[in-house]
Chains A and B, each alone.
Chain A
Amino acid sequence: MKILFFLIFIIFNTSNVSASEVNIFSSRHYESDTDLYKKFTDKTGIKVNVISGKDNALHKRIVDEGKDCLGDLYFTADAGKLGSFELQGLFQKGANSEFIKKNIPQNFRSDYWIGIAKRARVIYYNPTKTNPPKNLKYEDLSKEIFKSKIAIRQSNNIYNQSLVASIIEHNGPNETQEWIKGFVKNFARPPKGNDRAQILAVAAGEAEYAIANTYYLALMLSGKKGEEQKNAAKKVIPYFPNQKDRGTHMNISGAGILKYAPNKQNAIKLLEFLLTKESQTHIVNNTFEYPIIKGVEPNKLIAQFGTNFKQDLNTNVSVYSKRQSEALKIMTEAGWK
């Protein structure tokens, strides 16, 4: 009988609700984030509970659960997603301390969400084989000289949708449409694989240029993917496009406080903790993203390629959400698989 009670207890014990906790819904799956949360708990006594999952499914769960949703924070690795959460009224204001306003560039935050770390979507090439033209822009990649030279992943990838969204924002839909038509003709192979696979395609000589996020190269250089990939990654360097122009396309990992957060104050504390020098150093050394605050150096594996490149600081990253489906439409219509 005792066992029966114990079993029933396990089943109905939905969550150990303690007085001091904060609940995260996350589509950012870094194991290293867990260590960071441990540090936070040690410091503040606030327990951090996490559910990680696919972006869309978590989104749906938050909407359906409505005011009964136990989540306090929503973490994701695409600014477009943060923007659409804001548009749908799923976030509330809260993370807007003076520190935040002073330290996070305006385009990487809104009243409803903030960036936690940055990543740049750049062009990779093999310097022993390729000599890229000077002052290269994303816009140039549709030119004849790049014919059958570029590796990039599929159009259903959110990073690509955000990149094209930012280009639509700057050049307008018509010009972007023309650009994509030329760009697709320059693909070295049908789009496939993840970002790392594009970089490896350049290393292996399958393509001359690849478009991928910055941290993937560092991941390989770190040896976490084994010796061969480390050596392969050494053959390739990143090129930061649009330096004489608006700057390189940036995206963020970020978070917002959910509208019905039961532990709003703890959520704010956690967000502020993630913006401390200590946390930012931890993040950049584990995920190889760029720090969101000033005064912290990126990991040396990524810093070696320069930290002073011009970032696109004029585009508010939340416009990605408004332009993503338009971007997808243009991409698929141009035959970008």
Chain B
Amino acid sequence: MYKNFNFWFAGSLLVSLFVAIPLFTVFLSFFNSTSEYYDLLRNTFLKNYIINSFIILIGVLSLTFIFGVLSAYFVSFYNFPGVNFFKWALILSFAVPAYIYAYSLTAFFENYGTLFSLITFIFGEGNYNKFIPKFDGIFGAIISMSFSLFGYVYVLTRASFYHQSHNLIEVSKNLGYNAKESFFKIILPSARPAIIAGLSLVAMECLADFGTVSFFSVSTLTTGIYNSWLSFDDLNTANQLSFVLLLLILTLFYIENYSRGDAKYHQPTQGFRKIPKIDMVGKKAQLVSILCFLLFFISFIFPTAQMIFWTIKFPKYFDLTNILLLNLNTLTLVIFTSIVLISFSFLINFGNRISKSKILNYLSFFSISGYAIPGVILAVAFITFFSWFSDFFSSFFSTTSIKKIFIGSILGLIMAYFIRFYSLAFNGIRSSYIKINQSIDESSYLLGYTKFRTLRKIHYPYLKNSIYLVSILIAIEIIKELPITLILRPFNFETFATKAYANASQDLLEAAALPSLFIIFWSALLIFYTSKHILSEK
């Protein structure tokens, strides 16, 4: 037992340390002098960065709250035309990354953009530009992020409603509340933990965003860290900003974990019985139908349609061999990363379980840091660390440089993805693992099963479903991932995201349409496949 403890402990420690590399790298560069940039930053920028980040955060949180909670409420408690369709259609918004949403939004509403063309097509020539609302800057960023992130709130709130619906409706009826009263006084408060959990996830994604805000050239904490670190070599400022950002994100993470704990507590363990939903009729039903359709339309159909429109309008950007290659590249990354991530998460979870060590549970806290740090900062910290490590290694062992094994290689990319998505994989598997009762393990030992055999014959079949689900979530994340891939990839290696980025940054969003469409297509397909899991469990 003691021997096992050491082995699993060491393994867990190593993985946790590995995942925490970017965190350490950014913070350990504390001992550098401040540049002139710092004064400038302190006087003018810092305040702006923080204000911008907060405006975006508040805007996105408010909108995702309204969209997510309302749609979850209608879908969970009422029958109206199309309810079974909207139930899963609303999570398709996950397939559209915020930066692609931003491309569509800009192109549609800009002067002489797609909307202008549409109006001209219908009503003939005219000066319509002044009447077309413009979505850009901070406002555009808020809209783009809200429509691509509200799914988090929707999914978690809906799950909470789903498990509680019976009692709640009963209680509010007994109290003589009407629909509005029961929503505000009973239903909303009871779903609070789930709503907060969803909002914290939204907040983390929102603070870590780089693609959308840099497309709209809004300076936020994240772009501030990026610029002070890279343009001005000012590590002090970068660290200070990182500190503020991480503090925010860790707080959110804590809130999220805490709320989830609460949410679990409230879930009825037995006696759960599905109640028939309330039938909505007449104008009310139509109105709710229209609202849900609008949300689905704006979050998913609108950006997808814009991309399809361009792909058809500008067929010269279509290149079949290129498309096949991009698919192959994406597939390679998804397969390797999933295998590595799942194996490690599974084994470390198993280790934590059999060694029953509390310390290991705390160690896994580090695993979140990869998810908390914005991808663009993680990628650069990865380069800095492995350059240092490689220099150290080769001078110590007097070998040739090993840098290119880590930087600019598929292996390096997979390692960076590992850091980024370990928390997703580890916690995904963990949440199902803790549902397997310890007594099952003991029975298995009594039957003479070894630990490894228990893992293979008892745990694995139990966890198969959640492993499948986690792999698909990883796949979706990798398909959409941009900043890490962009800087760490090998020569001549493109994914849909890098291709779309390259075209968008030379102001040819038209050519970015097809790769963007593929990102949406693959993600939507995977989401569709797993919608049952996503919707029923969490």
Instruction: Tell whether, in the assembled complex, residue B217 and residue A156 are in contact, meaning their CB atoms are under 8 Å apart.
Output: yes
Complex Cα distance, B505 from A195, in Å, reads 12
* Residue A137 at the chain B interface, CB threshold 8 Å: no
Considering the complex of A and B, which 10 residue pairs feature the smallest CB-CB distances, nearest first? A56-B230, A49-B491, A204-B129, A200-B111, A64-B387, A204-B111, A29-B502, A14-B409, A68-B403, A232-B112
* Residue B58 at the chain A interface, CB threshold 8 Å: no
Q: Which residue of A lies closest to B44 (CB)?
A: A332
* Residue B65 at the chain A interface, CB threshold 8 Å: no
| Shortest distance from the beta carbon of A229 to any chain B beta carbon, whole Å | 5
Instruction: Tell whether, in the assembled complex, residue A228 and residue B219 are in contact, meaning their CB atoms are under 8 Å apart.
Output: no
* Residue A5 at the chain B interface, CB threshold 8 Å: no
Give every chain B residue within 8 A of A227 (Cβ-Cβ). 117
Instruction: Tell whether, in the assembled complex, residue A196 and residue B231 are in contact, meaning their CB atoms are under 8 Å apart.
Output: no
* Residue B110 at the chain A interface, CB threshold 8 Å: yes
Give every chain A residue within 8 A of B289 (Cβ-Cβ). none
* Residue A61 at the chain B interface, CB threshold 8 Å: yes
* Residue B36 at the chain A interface, CB threshold 8 Å: yes
Q: Which residue of A lies closest to B125 (CB)?
A: A231
| Shortest distance from the beta carbon of A59 to any chain B beta carbon, whole Å | 6
Which A residues form the contact surface with B (CB < 8 A)? 7, 10-15, 23, 29-31, 49-54, 56-61, 64-68, 70, 153-154, 156-157, 190, 192-197, 200-201, 203-206, 216, 219, 224-229, 231-232, 325, 328-329, 332-333
| Shortest distance from the beta carbon of B222 to any chain A beta carbon, whole Å | 13
Give every chain B residue within 8 A of A64 (Cβ-Cβ). 383-384, 387
Instruction: Tell whether, in the assembled complex, residue B313 and residue A201 are in contact, meaning their CB atoms are under 8 Å apart.
Output: no
**Partner pick for A57 among B116, B487, B492, CB 8 A cutoff:** B487
Complex Cα distance, B323 from A138, in Å, reads 46
* Residue B250 at the chain A interface, CB threshold 8 Å: no
Instruction: Tell whether, in the assembled complex, residue B507 and residue A194 are in contact, meaning their CB atoms are under 8 Å apart.
Output: yes
Complex Cα distance, B129 from A319, in Å, reads 40
Known contacts A53-B487, A192-B136; is A153 also within 8 Å of B112 by CB? no
B310-346 contacts to A, CB under 8 A, are: 313-314, 332, 336
* Residue B81 at the chain A interface, CB threshold 8 Å: no
Known contacts A325-B36, A333-B44; is A15 also within 8 Å of B408 by CB? yes
Instruction: Tell whether, in the assembled complex, residue B40 and residue A57 are in contact, meaning their CB atoms are under 8 Å apart.
Output: no
* Residue B194 at the chain A interface, CB threshold 8 Å: no
Known contacts A56-B226, A204-B111; is A15 also within 8 Å of B490 by CB? yes
* Residue B414 at the chain A interface, CB threshold 8 Å: yes
| Shortest distance from the beta carbon of A292 to any chain B beta carbon, whole Å | 19
* Residue B90 at the chain A interface, CB threshold 8 Å: no
Q: List 22 A-B contacts (CB under 8 A).
A: A7-B336, A10-B332, A12-B405, A15-B409, A23-B491, A31-B506, A50-B491, A56-B231, A57-B230, A60-B383, A65-B407, A156-B219, A200-B111, A203-B111, A205-B127, A206-B111, A206-B130, A224-B510, A226-B510, A229-B112, A325-B37, A329-B44
Give every chain A residue within 8 A of B510 (Cβ-Cβ). 224-226
Give every chain B residue within 8 A of A23 (Cβ-Cβ). 491
Known contacts A60-B383, A204-B129; is A49 also within 8 Å of B492 by CB? yes
| Shortest distance from the beta carbon of B91 to any chain A beta carbon, whole Å | 31
**Partner pick for B409 among A12, A195, A333, CB 8 A cutoff:** A12
* Residue B376 at the chain A interface, CB threshold 8 Å: yes
Instruction: Tell whether, in the assembled complex, residue B383 and residue A65 are in contact, meaning their CB atoms are under 8 Å apart.
Output: yes
Known contacts A65-B383, A68-B404, A333-B44; is A14 also within 8 Å of B230 by CB? no
Which B residues form the contact surface with A (CB < 8 A)? 36-37, 40, 43-45, 106, 110-113, 116-117, 120, 127, 129-130, 136-137, 216-217, 219, 226-227, 229-232, 313-314, 332, 336, 376, 379-380, 383-384, 387, 390-391, 401, 403-405, 407-411, 414, 483, 486-487, 489-492, 498, 502-503, 505-508, 510-511
Complex Cα distance, B509 from A196, in Å, reads 12
Q: Which residue of A lies closest to B493 (CB)?
A: A51
Complex Cα distance, B155 from A112, in Å, reads 56
| Shortest distance from the beta carbon of B292 to any chain A beta carbon, whole Å | 32
Complex Cα distance, B390 from A329, in Å, reads 38
| Shortest distance from the beta carbon of B66 to any chain A beta carbon, whole Å | 26
Instruction: Tell whether, in the assembled complex, residue B111 and residue A201 are in contact, meaning their CB atoms are under 8 Å apart.
Output: yes
Instruction: Tell whether, in the assembled complex, residue B110 and residue A200 are in contact, meaning their CB atoms are under 8 Å apart.
Output: yes
Instruction: Tell whether, in the assembled complex, residue A68 and residue B137 are in contact, meaning their CB atoms are under 8 Å apart.
Output: no
Known contacts A29-B506, A50-B491, A56-B226; is A11 also within 8 Å of B411 by CB? yes
Instruction: Tell whether, in the assembled complex, residue B117 and residue A228 are in contact, meaning their CB atoms are under 8 Å apart.
Output: yes
Instruction: Tell whether, in the assembled complex, residue A29 and residue B137 are in contact, meaning their CB atoms are under 8 Å apart.
Output: no
Complex Cα distance, B107 from A200, in Å, reads 12
Instruction: Tell whether, in the assembled complex, residue B376 and residue A200 are in contact, meaning their CB atoms are under 8 Å apart.
Output: no
Instruction: Tell whether, in the assembled complex, residue B45 and residue A332 are in contact, meaning their CB atoms are under 8 Å apart.
Output: yes
Instruction: Tell whether, in the assembled complex, residue B40 and residue A329 are in contact, meaning their CB atoms are under 8 Å apart.
Output: yes
Give every chain B residue within 8 A of A329 (Cβ-Cβ). 40, 44
Q: Which residue of B lies closest to A12 (CB)?
A: B411
| Shortest distance from the beta carbon of B391 to any chain A beta carbon, whole Å | 8
Give every chain B residue within 8 A of A52 (Cβ-Cβ). 498, 502
Complex Cα distance, B487 from A201, in Å, reads 34
Q: Which residue of B lies closest to A220 (CB)?
A: B112
Complex Cα distance, B405 from A241, in Å, reads 51
Give every chain A residue within 8 A of B502 (Cβ-Cβ). 29, 31, 52
Complex Cα distance, B495 from A52, in Å, reads 12
Instruction: Tell whether, in the assembled complex, residue A11 and residue B130 are in contact, meaning their CB atoms are under 8 Å apart.
Output: no
Known contacts A65-B407, A193-B136; is A200 also within 8 Å of B112 by CB? yes
Instruction: Tell whether, in the assembled complex, residue A193 and residue B110 are in contact, meaning their CB atoms are under 8 Å apart.
Output: yes
Instruction: Tell whether, in the assembled complex, residue A13 and residue B410 are in contact, meaning their CB atoms are under 8 Å apart.
Output: yes
Complex Cα distance, B410 from A13, in Å, reads 8
Known contacts A23-B491, A51-B489, A156-B219; is A70 also within 8 Å of B111 by CB? no
Known contacts A29-B505, A56-B230, A232-B111; is A14 also within 8 Å of B130 by CB? no
Q: Which residue of B lies closest to A14 (CB)?
A: B409
Q: Which residue of A lies closest to B491 (CB)?
A: A49
Give every chain A residue within 8 A of B112 (Cβ-Cβ). 200, 203-204, 228-229, 231-232
Complex Cα distance, B130 from A205, in Å, reads 8
| Shortest distance from the beta carbon of B128 to any chain A beta carbon, whole Å | 9
**Partner pick for B408 among A12, A14, A54, A190, CB 8 A cutoff:** A14
Give every chain A residue within 8 A of B137 (Cβ-Cβ). 190, 192
Give every chain B residue within 8 A of A57 (Cβ-Cβ). 230, 376, 379-380, 483, 486-487
List 5 extra interface pairs beyond A15-B490, A156-B219, A194-B507, CB under 8 A.
A31-B502, A66-B391, A68-B404, A204-B129, A205-B129
Q: Which residue of A lies closest to B39 (CB)?
A: A329
Known contacts A7-B336, A156-B219, A332-B44; is A224 also within 8 Å of B508 by CB? yes
Q: Which residue of B lies closest to A7 (CB)?
A: B336
Give every chain B residue within 8 A of A195 (Cβ-Cβ). 507
Complex Cα distance, B511 from A45, in Å, reads 29
Instruction: Tell whether, in the assembled complex, residue B111 and residue A197 are in contact, meaning their CB atoms are under 8 Å apart.
Output: yes
| Shortest distance from the beta carbon of A208 to any chain B beta carbon, whole Å | 14
Complex Cα distance, B111 from A200, in Å, reads 6
**Partner pick for A31 among B219, B231, B401, B511, CB 8 A cutoff:** B511
| Shortest distance from the beta carbon of B274 to any chain A beta carbon, whole Å | 46
Instruction: Tell whether, in the assembled complex, residue A68 and residue B401 are in contact, meaning their CB atoms are under 8 Å apart.
Output: yes
Q: Which residue of A lies closest to B43 (CB)?
A: A333
Complex Cα distance, B498 from A49, in Å, reads 16
Give every chain A residue within 8 A of B117 (Cβ-Cβ). 226-228
Complex Cα distance, B493 from A13, in Å, reads 12
Instruction: Tell whether, in the assembled complex, residue A50 and residue B503 are in contact, meaning their CB atoms are under 8 Å apart.
Output: no
Give every chain B residue within 8 A of A231 (Cβ-Cβ). 112
| Shortest distance from the beta carbon of A233 to any chain B beta carbon, whole Å | 9
Complex Cα distance, B491 from A23, in Å, reads 8
Instruction: Tell whether, in the assembled complex, residue B45 and residue A70 are in contact, meaning their CB atoms are under 8 Å apart.
Output: no
